[in-house]
Structure 1
Amino acid sequence: MIETNKIGRYPFMAEPFHCDFTKHLLFGHLGNYMLNAADFHSHDRGFGMPYLNPIHKTWVLSRLAIEMAEYPTQYKKFFVDTWIESAMRYFTNRNFKIEGEDGTVYGYGKSVWAMIDTQTRQPQNILEIHDGKIIDYIDTDKECPIEKSSRVKMSNDAQLIMTLDTHYNDVDVNGHINSVKYIEHVLDLFPLSQYENFLLKRFEIAYVAESHFGDKLNFYLEKSGEEEYCIRITKSEEKNENEVETCRCKVKFVKD
């Protein structure tokens, strides 16, 4: 049965082994819950992976911004609301709200998605799916009071601070490096003391190019403000040492 509600609400729990040493939900797992909510929402409305994959199409995340006031603690149950703010030919904007059972608003997210052909990896016209039925699910009334992803600007002074190989656990259902794995690797650039003394307030990521199993990822970091950092990630392919940019991130911490 096709869901008709524009807004999807999905229950989750901050499981103990998905929490960090402060007993709060790890940011990477939060990201996974949000992407799962997006998948559930699209699937229930007829344009999810089970429909798209047999016709050689899939969704890929292009941009994501998450801004948090606080994080659920272990065993806390919470909801991820998600809805479509707009849909165009090649991109759709999807929003999120993270809310506790008691009404506590933990944070919000904004994302941009593209649809691609799984064989050619080229963009596909979203409005051709079910004759543009996605338009019926647009909701412009529900509030998502955070800024969209900004253009992350970096100078040539950014320092290479980590290089790592990609492995089996980095690869997702689309066959490329998982969107959230980039986020987790970026957050590993900072020492434990950063998370003892500061709250991860906002994280932005913009994906530029795909990377795959066996690629080497290079992380360049530059401080852009008070407890604000910009990160550029490049890939070096096994047969080609030339670096290609895969994504850029901006991380903002505030005093906890």
Structure 2
Amino acid sequence: METDKNKVGKYEFLAEPFHCDFSHRLFMGHLGNHLLNAADFHSSHRGFGMPYLNPLHKTWVLSRLAIEMDEMPLQYSTFAVETWVESAMRYFTNRNFRIVDTDDDSHVYGYGRSVWAMIDTQTRRPQNIMEIRDGEIMKYVDAEKPCAAQPLSRVRISEGARLVRTIDTHYSDVDVNGHINSVKYIEHVLDLFPVSRYKEYAVKRIDVAYVAESYYGDKLSFYMEQLSEEDFLVRITRHREDGTDETEACRCGIKFVKDYK
């Protein structure tokens, strides 16, 4: 874990065996959790993380996330997540990630891009980021560090997408902010595909656009649209048990490849 407060934070993780799938490579969901943990470490060490914000009834919520991989870490391998704030505005920050081999910084597994909003934990309304510590976040913006991932996508999906699954939400779906965990959506989406697909394909990129919060007890419905053999779109809606008040929660785009390069 880092000891200074540079613009870029770098955090080491282990691809634990029970966080890996049958190919002995890290699950995408666990990688997503590591990215979010790195973001939390980075912001907390610089004074604008949740330990400072929560007593002020504020928190960070994820608005967009894209993870683009050339390769997934193998079990027992150590890897590092670099993260930095590319830009900060009144209501949003753009945060990037770079995933590298701990022992060889030139061995890059992949990249990530994300957009975060600050909200009031009681009203759930957006908050002005520049009012926190007089905009001190701007000291840590690094607009020059490159991120090779493609820009974030809005994930446009047609009304013709077909309903493929509806699930209940449970205790383990809920995170520290009291809503359905951002990465849980990714895991539920990837579970829509059979194991046979993952024996033939790897996930090259996943885009998630978070639209509305879901909570414990909501039902989640998944609507899928297939664009090609490798490209899929998924819309997730939340609704009550009786199916009423259906509202879009998020949209996902998934790109598969036959194998990582």
Give the TM-score taking structure 2 as reference length: 0.95
CA distance in 2, matches of 1:155, 1:116: 30
Correspondence list, 1:118-197, <5 A: 118-197=121-200
The 3-state SS of whatever aligns with 1:127 is: helix
More displaced 10-residue stretch of structure 1: 233-242 or 213-222: 233-242
How far does residue 145 in structure 1 lie from its aligned partner after superposition?
1.2
How far does residue 144 in structure 1 lie from its aligned partner after superposition?
0.3
How far does residue 206 in structure 1 lie from its aligned partner after superposition?
0.4
Deviations 1:156-179 (A, max 9, x none): 221100000000000000000000
Percent identity between the two aligned chains: 65
Give the TM-score taking structure 1 as reference length: 0.97
Asked if 1:113 corresponds to 2:116, the answer is: yes
CA distance in 1, matches of 2:198, 2:180: 25
How far does residue 140 in structure 1 lie from its aligned partner after superposition?
1.3
Residue of structure 1 aligned with 2:206, choices 189, 203, 206: 203
In the alignment, what sits opposite 2:6? 5
| Number of residue pairs the alignment of both structures matches | 255
In the alignment, what sits opposite 2:41? 40
Correspondence list, 1:209-220, <5 A: 209-220=212-223
Residue of structure 2 aligned with 1:222, choices 200, 222, 225: 225
Displaced runs of 4+ in structure 1, greater than 3 A? none
How far does residue 149 in structure 1 lie from its aligned partner after superposition?
1.6
Unaligned 5+ segments in structure 1 are none
More displaced 10-residue stretch of structure 1: 222-231 or 82-91: 222-231
Amino acid at match of 1:26: F
CA distance in 2, matches of 1:240, 1:122: 26
Unaligned 5+ segments in structure 2 are none
CA distance in 1, matches of 2:120, 2:242: 25
Amino acid at match of 1:18: H
